[in-house]
Amino acid sequence: MNRIEDRFARLRREGQKGFVVYIGAGDPNLEATRQLALAFDQAGVDVLELGVPFSDPLADGLVNQLAAQRGLESGTTPPKVLETVAAIRRDSQMPIVLYVYFNILHKRGLKQFIEDCAKAGVDGLLVLDLPPEESDNYESLMHEAGLCNIYLVAPTTPEDRIELIVKRATGFIYYVSREGVTGMQSKVSDTIGQMTAKIRAHTKLPIAVGFGISNPEQAKLVAQHAEAIVVGSAIVNQIAEHGKSPELVKRAGEFMKALADAVKGC
């Protein structure tokens, strides 16, 4: 069983909610990424999403765009991200998803990129700009490699398309809880319960809700409606603030633990 599937099966058995965390790989550098990953594992993170730096991150707001820029400036490349995943794997079996744009896969070659990911210890891919209608070959290659192909559902997704998307997905469904790009918000959407119920009518896959969750109160509120919550910009902002400090890993780990505790307490 894939690590993502295994983790969500365990959470289900234990009656626990999952905690998914996004950071930009190579921000501020790849050794920090490795150390942060291990600290997050200890803090109670269930799935780590690593953003592969890209020059045109269309789905991302300013916080994550700047993280991608810092990653590129630190010399982070897709092969180096995979080397870092392999290094994390020496000390952790926490599921890892790459948050990536299709151009990166296309440049390497779809089959080769997926094989490289599997060899390094990646468990799934979330390809932001690859719609299910155009992903037949991608899905079959992912299945052969034992990786989960994770898809997004948005508040504006019609119900017939929700049905199509979730039938093609594996691992979990990432529900984008608001329109627009990534970023911290002062309050969560009031339609999350309604939309997760719509999604759940078409799939037994876990639903992870993200985009905008930035504090323990919001995390706890959203976790009532989903199998997992996703926090990204809030921790990326912490990394931006403390990236040059020797206290970075400690501070980020403490921030994550407060959020994890809120989610696990649901």
Residues recognised as catalytic:
49, 60
Helices (H), 90-158: 102-108, 110-120, 136-145
* Euclidean distance between CA atoms 44 and 29, whole angstroms: 23
Long-range CB contacts (< 8 A, 24+ apart) of 37-43? 37/88, 37/92, 37/94, 37/96, 38/88, 38/91, 38/92, 39/249, 39/250, 39/252, 39/253, 39/256, 40/94, 40/252, 40/253, 40/256, 41/92, 41/94, 42/253, 43/253, 43/254, 43/256, 43/257, 43/260
Q: Tell me, what amino acid is at 113? A: F
Phi, psi of 228 (to 5 degrees): -160, 160
Give yes or no for a contact between 20 and 45, defined as CB atoms under 8 angstroms apart. yes
* Euclidean distance between CA atoms 10 and 45, whole angstroms: 14
What's the order of all strands across the beta sheet hosting 96-100? Answer: 148-149, 124-127, 96-100, 47-51, 18-24, 228-231, 207-210, 173-176, 151-153
Helix (H) or strand (E) holding 65: helix 62-73
